[in-house]
Structure 1
């Protein structure tokens, strides 16, 4: 008996004392197995990676350089560590089905070969230009392993090295090598006068995510930097979420060997992307710059309803599987933009592929969908559900997110693109987002939802947004845009939004676009040095680029103690309110303009 007691005490103290081990960069091919073994076989609480460069070799996995699965209650300490991914076509680190895992330290994940290239325009024809690749950057643009034949090209100002004002996304159709470092890039349409010889150019190459959390919960990433990501730098998808990201970044790495020019881009897509996660991320004091897409994006997924039989609906989806569980709340919204209501899922069933014939949908995301499933709801929403309506799982839209004290700098697209409930957006700096600083809008064309509810936007600073890769066609025209969807005049999908104490500095065009919303407070926001240049963003939708705030399809909206000064010659009016807006308080004195500087 006493021998057993002594043995148990021995095990207890051994487990208490021997809780971690050190991994060195000597054999990086064993890194993955060493981490998994420490947690799942040795029962350790943590591992510590010795400082140094870990050159992660090519491996046989189809899409991951490092795959960490089923980790539980574990810490990866990695101070002064760099993971150098030799295969830039794969995902960097994949965390799959992990719970309460922390990765921390001054750590960098970098692709060894930059997954894009850059150079300058040497000559221009009507539908093509010749790019001369900068020293040290990839010259494999005609190799489809590393660059798609058709990609997206971006034009940068040779002095500021930001996206050039009034340039767009340029989609090429072909590329032909001229010599070792020069290529002719061909387009379907004539190139505009906004492009001139000497402009700098970069483009999207092939690649994948930097770090992905797939079906994970309570993850923590602290002081982790991603450089030269092949897709999204950071990506979380599926699972319960509630992950925390503190002092993370997406930014360019160092110049490649032999280069004299600094990198123009940091990744091939978004800085941070959250899709289909139950509880949204907390992102604090982080930095995202030079991406060719959004800074931070959070959303769920729409499926299209094809048939209805009382409480039973048949849905069509782009991917296999049923993104619901029994008891989940589902939100239905009409193609006209009107929310139909919410229902609980009582039963679900997978249907055969191509269960129904395909349809010619006006929404690209829903063209040629092959996967079907059936939901039984606890209500038919008084018979208001129609075929071609959209449905989404409210439990998987990233609600409850917190975005605080982050910096998003000099990149293409939206600083933040948010489509979830119960969010806090506070004390962020968004400077140089080419389309908009902050956008909330359901997007049927991407199959991404939902409307925003109960969101606080306060103490943020938005500087010089909306200067490139956008134009008169966009609905997301405001530096801050909350926009509905569909054509109905009463599509009030967004509600209970507070926009308070934000600073808008050096922005041309319309500053706020507010559409498809109700119960909104806009209080103590400040606009300075705005509208010195004409910018026609949104004019195709009746939005006046000279107005500070445009309001349409709004109900119960209050403007209070907002102020503007140092406005330029392109300013036309403080407020543009359409006849589709009702119960607007502060139309006369909600924005005070002081023409002095």
Structure 2
């Protein structure tokens, strides 16, 4: 299926393809984005085979029509082809380890040899060890590059270095590294971390509703053609011309055909039935191309590590001129890092190329690049700088920068000598003058029981929590009410020794909340470990002293807390291109950042979203954000959406509890539904000099469900909107808009 050296026989493939007028030009010359309408669905019975030496047979599926003409009896036999080797094994880990051992910190990976038969440079095939294709620990001041990285020209550069990963696990892991630069590589997988197939029927007892999709897998270099490796993960449907039809299915089930390994059935929930998908363009059709995740990891018994490139606890890492064509999850993932830079990195679906025989030339052109996000930053102490990058056709968001909410289950107000609960307002060191003007600062102290969102390490240890002593913290109340406190600080953090794990009552509560199923069920240890966190905040007048009377009730079970120091603040997203995804272009839940001069096209979700993600407990609310000079085209949701909900994920947050100091100016939004720009739950909002063109005034944007009902109600009841439907501002204060 996919092991060993891949061999291409140009004599055989060329002779066969010459029988099909037009098909060869489609297969090898289809320009991006895929927009041809001549792709014809194929049953598995119509195949032709190009054999490979030293590797299992690779099958090419061809269209049902036109049929190949019968081969004349007088045609001489096809001569025995000369095999063309396209890649060689390379011990990347061993090479780098040897260079480091010799004291070399400027490591240049040598170019692979040239195939003398073709004059084409070979690719490096790398095999993982302990689920990593390359593991780097504790490096400082190291550069790993290619011999041609200074003049890197991408895939079309004949001297670029391509790494082919042989199992669907992580490519590169960096742990606790500082000042490391990696540049000039192309990354792909064989086998791919997803596979493709065709919808060949709609089964079940309600075929009219199209809930049961009968799938025939594609066969080809790179695709896994056995249902044994299929995961119920990231199921998307594309039209035969390569346009995304629908890709937001949740709650699917798969059933593998035990008699035919190339067949399986995907069952989708009834909420996705044809009667509920009003737009005909969203309804699946026989012949549609499906994409679904899969896993191949024989050296680790099927266990893999997610993401292609992962940084953990690193400082000042730089990725430059990295091209990535596939990943089992995110492309780039960082956690607890400081100031990571991504410069001119490309994430895209790979296309057949006529210039040279491609190792991964598929039967059906790839519909997807990555299975999930392109760039994902979690709990960064200083946010990433992403400049001049491209991310398209991924299975989820282009960029996501966030912190982590941890769930409060109890709160009580305390001081040095008194403990109360909803009865008095104890304080420390409060004095005032008789006139009531010259008052000294008072400090309110509260103790919280908090369940950590973090997963445990799998070794039986308790999960950690991403809040440190003396961190400023943000608290989002369950119903989105404002605490009226801006200087909350965590002064003490310890495991709750009295009850260090989630209680049954807490489990019952969270099972009823609007959270992802992984969090509800404590997958990997999330929301399982309990901590005690002491917070302090200052009061300066009598009015604020009334706050502790209601503090415990405001901080009821289900409120959330996050560190303001670990949300990816001070980020920069400049001059990038994102799009052609079922999800969002840019998501930010951080502060003190700029989103400028980017292009977002064909995003099903918001092109730019500034909002906490309560579903995944991704924090927080944003302050001091500039969104300017961006171009947004053809999205199905808000061009720019800024909003915030209480941690119940239902109630719109108050303006004082949400975002602050948001500037949206000189952006162009074209051919998008209303509202083109949406702002809620914010203070100090500046919306000026934006251009909204070709507005779809009769189409309301498809936002998150909790936001859709609010927007629709606003349009139905607010006569002040009149014909100006392009911008909607709700529940905000101190607004300057034109």
Q: TM-score range by the shorter chain?
A: 0.7 to 0.9
Contact 1:404–1:428 under 8 Å retained in 2:
yes
Q: Residue 120 of structure 1 aligns to a residue in which SS?
A: strand
Deviations 1:303-342 (A, max 9, x none): 0112224332221013301312222211111112235334
1:374 counterpart residue number: 532
Other-structure match for 2:480:
337
Give the TM-score taking structure 2 as reference length: 0.66
Residues 343 and 42 of structure 1: CA distance in aligned 2, closer, same or farther (over 3 Å) = farther
Alpha-carbon distance in 1 for matches of 2:98, 2:613: 43
Map residues 422-461 of structure 1 onto 2, 5 A cutoff. Answer: 422-461=592-631
**Alpha-carbon distance in structure 2 between the residues aligned to 1:409 and 1:551:** 34
The residue that corresponds to 1:419 in the other structure is: 589
List aligned pairs for 1:253-264, cutoff 5 A.
253-254=350-351, 257=360, 259-264=362-367
Q: What is the DSSP-based 3-state SS (H/G/I as helix, E as strand, rest coil) of the residue aligned with 1:38?
A: helix
1:396 aligns with 2:580: no
Distance 1:551-1:58 versus aligned 2 partners, 3 A rule: farther
Structure with the higher fraction of residues in helix conformation: 2
Q: Could you tell me which residue of structure 2 aligns to residue 64 of structure 1?
A: 132
Q: CA RMSD in A?
A: 2.9
Alignment match of 2:654 (pick from 486, 490, 496): 490
Offset at residue 101 of structure 1 (A): 0.3
2:161 to 81, 85, 98: 81
Moved more, 335-344 or 206-215: 335-344
Which region of structure 1 is more displaced relative to structure 2, 526-535 or 132-141? 132-141
Paired residues of 1:438 and 1:480 also in contact (CA < 8 A): yes
Call closer, same or farther: CA 1:99–1:453 in 2, change over 3 Å. same
The one-character-per-residue Cα deviations of 1:545-594 (angstroms, maximum 9, x if unpaired) are 997xx999xxxxxx9xxxxxxxxxxx9543676885555555xxx2xxxx
Match of 1:99, SS?
coil
Aligned CA distance change for structure 1 residues 379 and 142 (closer, same or farther; 3 Å):
same
Name the CA distance, whole Å, in 1 between partners of 2:266 and 2:613.
31
* Distance of aligned partners of 1:294 and 1:536 in 2 relative to their CA distance in 1, 3 Å threshold: closer
Q: CA-to-partner distance for each residue in 1:193-250, whole Å, 9 max, x for gaps?
A: 52222222212334621101111000111101122101101101113x1011100122
What is the match of residue 101 of structure 1? 180
Shift of 1:376: 2.4
1:511 matched to 2:676: yes
- 1:325 corresponding residue in structure 2: 468
Quote the Cα distance in structure 2 between the aligned partners of 1:336 and 1:426: 33
Match of 1:181 among 245, 248, 262: 262
* Equivalent in the alignment of 2:193: 115
Rounded to whole Å, the distance in 1 between the matches of 2:597 and 2:727 is 27
Cα distance in 2, alignment partners of residues 578 and 312 from structure 1 = 36
Q: Aligned to 1:347, what secondary structure does the other structure show?
A: strand
> Are the structure 2 counterparts of residues 544 and 347 from structure 1 closer, same or farther at C-alpha, using a change threshold of 3 Å?
closer
* Residue from 376, 380, 384 that aligns with 1:281: 384
Would the aligned equivalents of 2:678 and 2:729 in 1 still touch at CA under 8 Å?
no
**Which of 135, 145, 153 matches 2:235?**
153
Quick one: structure 1 residues 141 and 337, their matched pair in 2 at CA, closer, same or farther if it must change by over 3 Å?
Answer: farther
Q: Does the aligned pair in 2 maintain the 1:163–1:434 contact within 8 Å?
A: no
What are the within-5 Å matches in structure 2 for residues 160-309 of structure 1?
A: 161-164=242-245, 168-169=248-249, 171-177=251-257, 179-189=260-270, 191-192=273-274, 194-206=283-295, 208-239=306-337, 241-254=338-351, 257=360, 259-309=362-412
The answer (yes or no) to whether the contact 1:218–1:243 under 8 Å persists in 2 is: yes
> Quick one: distance in 1 between partners of 2:393 and 2:360?
20
Q: Which runs of 5+ in 2 are unaligned?
A: 1-86, 113-122, 150-159, 275-279, 296-303, 353-358, 415-445, 456-462, 540-546
Shift of 1:95: 0.6
Q: 1:191 to 1:356 in 2, by over 3 A?
A: closer
Which secondary structure does the structure 2 equivalent of 1:543 belong to? helix
Gaps of 5+ in 1: 1-24, 467-476, 553-558, 560-570, 591-597
Q: Between Structure 1 and Structure 2, which shows a larger proportion of strand residues?
A: 1
CA pair 32-496 structure 1, distance change in 2 beyond 3 A: same
The structural deviation recorded for 1:180 is: 5.0
Contact 2:321 2:344 in 1 (8 A): yes
Residue 186 of structure 1: CA displacement? 2.4
**Within 2, Cα distance between the matches of 1:92 and 1:343?**
40
Shift of 1:124: 2.3
In 2, Cα distance between equivalents of 1:328 and 1:578 = 32
Q: Which residue of 2 aligns with 1:16?
A: none
> 1:176–1:183: 8 Å Cα contact kept in structure 2?
yes
What SS class does the counterpart of residue 395 from structure 1 fall into?
Answer: coil
C-alpha change, 1:507 and 1:273, in structure 2 (3 Å) is same
1:117 partner SS = strand
1:28 alignment counterpart: 90
In the other structure, the counterpart of 1:314 is 449
Q: Which has the larger radius of gyration?
A: 2
Counting matched residue pairs gives 523
Structure 1 partner of 2:31: none
SS in structure 2 of the partner of residue 35 of structure 1: helix
Please list the CA deviations of residues 151-208 of structure 1 after superposition, one character each: whole Å capped at 9, or x if unmatched: 342121322x1212x7742642122336353433223426315222222221233462
Q: CA deviation at 1:351?
A: 3.3
Partners in 1 of 2:248 and 2:490 — Cα distance? Answer: 43
Which residue of structure 1 lines up, in the alignment, with residue 515 of structure 2? 364
User: Shift of the alpha carbon at 1:140?
Assistant: 4.5
Cα distance change, pair 215–582 in 1 and its aligned pair in 2 (3 A): closer
Tell whether the 8 Å contact from 1:337 to 1:491 is kept in structure 2 after alignment. no
CA distance in 1, matches of 2:533, 2:343: 38
